[in-house]
Amino acid sequence: MATVLLVEDNDDAREMMALALQLGGHEVWPARHGREALALLREEGRPALILTDLMMPVMNGWELKAALVSDPEFADVPIVAVSAVPAEQLPCLYGMDLVSKPVDIDELLNLVWERCGT
């Protein structure tokens, strides 16, 4: 079982992905935006993987990535972007893999398994 921090501002999308991950045997820490995700990390510690939407209010996925890579405690946690925008239209993923929306649940679970070994 892997612990996954799931950062998504859309309630329905967050709940659907969280349920799929939980049914896949993973622990999920849900957050609505990057600032909430950072607070959760300070409380809970290191997840095995972070899945983050890119376009969110308060703190977007790129800002979250920048905050995490500058923090030695979280700099090496794998971060995967989740976006409805095609990769070729995104300015830069800064080394993040991309899961496209609408999310294919099998692809999501396979990605977690590949990144976390569970």
Q: Could you read off the pLDDT of 52-111 as tens digits, one per residue?
A: 999 999 999 989 999 999 999 999 999 998 988 765 655 665 667 788 889 999 999 999
- Residues in Cβ contact with 7 at an 8 Å cutoff, skipping those fewer than 6 apart: 31, 32, 33, 34, 36, 37, 50, 51, 52, 53, 56, 61, 64
Which comes out higher in pLDDT, residue 100 or 12?
A: 12
Using only the alpha carbons of the chain, give its radius of gyration: 13
Domain of residue 55: give its range: 3-116
Domain count, the chain: 1
Q: So what's the pLDDT on residue 92? A: 62
Which tokens go with 87? 């990769």
User: How far apart are the C-alpha atoms of 55 and 25, rounded to whole Å?
Assistant: 28
- Look up residue 80 and give its DSSP letter: E
State yes or no: pLDDT of 14 exceeds 90.
yes
Q: What is the CATH number of the domain that holds 71?
A: 3.40.50.2300
Which tokens go with 83? 């976006």
By DSSP bridging, strand 49-53 and strand 3-7 are parallel
Q: So what's the pLDDT on residue 105? A: 92
State yes or no: pLDDT of 10 exceeds 60.
yes
- Tell me the pTM: 0.91
